[in-house]
Structure 1
Amino acid sequence: MKVLIVDDEAHVIRAVKLLVPWQELGITETYEALTPHDAIRIMEAEQPEILITDIVMQDLSGIDLMKYIASSLKHIKVIVISGYNNFDYVRSSLQHGGVDYLLKPLDQDQLIEAVKKAVDAWNQEHNLYHTAQIHKDQIDSMATLCRENLLSRLIHGDHPEQACRKLMELSPELSELTACGFTYCNLEPFISGEEASWNEPFHRYRDALACFLADSGAGFLLPADSRYEIAVFLTDYSPAFQEQLKNFLQSVRQSLPFPVCMGVAAGIFPGGIMETYQKARAAFGACNMASLSPVLCSLEPGFHRPFHGLTEKQKEVDDRMLLSALLTGNEQLIDDSISVWIRSRIPEDAPLLAIVLEAVQDENRLFASWAELFENRHKGFRHQTEYVVLNFRDIMDGSMRISFERFRRRMRADILFLYGELKSIHSPEADMIYQVAHYIELNYNQPFSQAACAQTFFVNQEYLCRKFKQTFHVTMITYLNDLRINQARQMLKDPMIKIRQIAHEVGFEDEKYFSRQFKKSTGMTPNDYRTRYQEQLGE
């Protein structure tokens, strides 16, 4: 605590300084001034808590100092000392907030008691102010939390009309807002939960973003739906603010161990808030994983998912090709199939985040389904519990950009791991011939050559044909044709598919040969089979 002593007589100042045990009263610094003008300068610079002043001085009086304090430095407590026992002086000093009025010559006990009174008054007032400030901060914090929760309800469609009404009551300034924006990111794929060292940088980044928004007055963070999600509601979406936000993200990205890029979108408030939020999420999914730029990613007008034109049927073809390669154990075939699979799912010129995430999820679903298939098809097969599913970070390089080579290597290791498990079981079904049968089932609609099949599985053709017939009691060609005919029977149930198209889709290049094989297997032509089915359907 600090005290300023003001008197135009230096000996009075010395006497005051000697009479009071300042340290005992909690006062650590004392200042002195011979004129009111010096006193004002010291008060502005040092902000003392207590002023002890004479009332009659040249130029300005102690009352003038008290008036100045009342207008500019209200926290200062004032003790007046005077050689005049004048009622008007006493009344004026009390009217302007004086704690006590002491007459010269000063009595030590009275002076000490006055200083104690001033210290107590300042402490009491300070404590009341501090408590009031805490309450105000608590109320502001609760209001902020309510506002953020109401906005969160709006973007998730949770009783939006009720949430909007309460939001306008809580924050009337938002009732004048007609447009808004969102920025969004979810760093969950980049940050492994086991890496505790990454938690501190993430929270530091989030806090820095919150401070930037508070300073700019352009928006605020919303409650996160997941651990590493950041959603920002923007009340300002002007080009000038966007540039400020870009500069902020650029300034912090070098010090963080994860990518700093956010999806951004603008829309109508409050009616379009849900759509705007979803557009910002989609825009984050459009971040380019090859360059991690720009730091603010927005969607072009008319942009719609999916990000690529790969159909479910094309996906199925690629998956079957990959499984076929696994069954052969042929590493060259496996490598080629992996390259086709990755290339069809992730465009190398635009490996967008959402596409890469989907490919990782597809790989994990695919391998889980294959393990289940093998367990059902091959007695004794058990998928090892130590197998670790593919993580998004497994296919990123040290700069957090996608590495196609790492993706290929990981898929290759996973396929060979499953193949090794398949070959390690000890049962009749583990014989290579069952993998051949499975391979034919997967590729029934492709051109087939017994010689090529034997070469794929690295066995002698004659041995393969003999072994196959011994195991399944039919030749490979008959086995294949039965598969094709059974698939054709299912397709013939749809009257809109032409018979010529069915023949080609099940693997027959010649429609007449298809018809002969179909009649040989079912006793009727494809057309007769379709007619019979439609008649039975109508009964």
Structure 2
Amino acid sequence: MKALIVDDEARVRKAVRLLVDWDAHHIDEILEAGNGNEAIEVIREAKPALVIMDMMMESGSGVELMTWVNEFAGNTKFIVVSGHNDFDFVRQTVRNGGIDYILKPIEAEAINTAVSKAVAAWRSEEEERSQRQQQSIRLNEIKPIYGEKLLSALIDDPINSEASLRRLVSEGVIPGNAESSRLILVQTDSGNNPLLKRFGGDSELLYYAIVNICNEFLHPQSKGIAFRYWGGPPEIAIILWDVQESVVELISRINQGIYRTLQFRMHFGISNTGSLPHRLSMQRTEAAEALLRRNLLSHEDYCHFPSSTDAHGKTVSPSGDGSASHGSPVIFAHVQEDWKLAVISGNNEALSDAAQHWTHELSRGGVVTPEMLNAWKADVLLFRIRLVRDALGVRADAALAELEHADQLNPAPYTNGYSFSLFAWRDWSFALMQRLSQELSARQVKESNPMSDIVRYVEQNYASDLSLQEVAGKFYVSREYVSRKFKQEYGINFSDYIGNVRIEKAKLLLQNPNLKLSQISEMVGFHDVKYFSKVFKKQVGSSPKDYRIQKNI
């Protein structure tokens, strides 16, 4: 078992090493990190079972680290060691699943008790996870007995929905007295790698597991049915025909069951009540909108109801989910100039400040929704296209292709995932700006070198009477500059380079038996065929005639 000590003071890390009886807790590897950012990299690579961390650090605070651990390393247990007796810090520790909050100076008994508790909790959860995973896999190996496509047709095929309903009633899937319903969509996140790994990367198996868990709470009292919805992107839907019970209480029980099995809580988009089956199509739209407009900063809200946005961007929730109205959302134009200046500067500190400012602006209104993130991401990519085209003109396409390829390797965080981290979006925006800055800088440096333009000019005009003076004048530089730079960059004199280009072109033309030597000589810029033959033999080692014979044998 591994443990990680995170503190920006080496003496504190040393004290923790000395105070904890690692052998007694069966911890055989102790790692260290000097700040939160460094700790994240260590956790990603080493995956420690336990993190003992400070709250106040200069680079990557304890609150940020706790949030990251809770979202991306949920199996890891952590203990906070702090010199600040701050209730808000304690509350943040509890909210993010911390085992204990210990004040400095550290007492050996207190920290060993906390470590023992953390190790016990980690081992217990590991054993439970293993058992539930095996149980879930066995459950999902059984082919679902419900007609998922028939249930999906209730939503997608209004014309035949009555016929589909009659068939489902006759098969006992839906009770005959069901007249009204709610449609609920369960949030699925195909990018949640930790969760997918438990199912061997098989997303279908994961979906079946969630469906089965939901139905364990719906079937016994015939409240509704959960199924894999086939009408669009991977989704899990619930048709709830028992609309008398509090839907929030029911979803809470379902979510607790999902958490016991998968150690994740899902988000649920819940439609208004409507007639069955006629309102199902509209209800799916309402449920999808509820998920798209959920406030990602409200980490403990898992039930989301339909909402609408007025002309001023204020969120209104008419369905009684208790959310308040908020001010106008921040748009990308508010930070666009900061981004542009940072990218042009190429300074990492400026890029980091711009990324931090972006995430601050994004969250300062107290509301961040997947819909807002999608709009921001689209604006960011449009900003990048405009900046590249302004900077590179007709040469922009190649740069944009490189940047888009990098996007595939480093995608933005999933906008509508199980959880949300400003930390992850800040890192993404910094990396995107950094790649953009580097790409622009590299291409502009390359294009600002007149040698590359001169080489292209020679390639296009080798048949003409090119001279060093003429070319230098063409590009508004001195003869001496061209001569010196050409020798430095290509290791050859300018006149010899032109000769090499002409001979290479001649070698290609000699492969055409219908061209005379005199014609080829003129075509590559030699007006004297004897001089052409002399230069060719000197460079190639054989006369043009012999070279042609060799190539055409």
TM-score by length of 2: 0.43
Instruction: Pick the structure with greater CA Rg.
Output: 1
TM-score by length of 1: 0.44
